[in-house]
Amino acid sequence: MPRKIRQLKADLHKAGAHELESGSSHRKWVHPLLPGKFVPLAYHSDGQDAKDYQEKDVKQFLHDIAQAKRKQS
């Protein structure tokens, strides 16, 4: 069963990422340790099932955050 968009957002928030507002239907999730990188997620679709590519993008972004935190220590 696919995860919900809200679950992906919760994972990003837990990792220290935050949303940047934009003029479109998507918000960019950024992290201070990864300047220039972001993950776009629709802000109005929290209850919808996440697409495979969204799961993959968020997983990669979380991995990048974890690596950046390890390098920082």
Digit-coded pLDDT (tens) for 31-63: 999 999 999 988 778 899 999 999 999 999 999
**pLDDT the model gives residue 46:** 86
How far is it, in rounded angstroms, from Cα 34 to Cα 6? 22
Number of domains the chain is built from: 1
Q: What are the CA-CA distances from residue 30 to residues 1, 18, 36 (Å)? A: 27, 6, 8
For residue 68, what are the domain limits? 5-72
Predicted structure pTM score:
0.90
For the domain that residue 61 is a member of, what is the CATH number?
A: 3.30.920
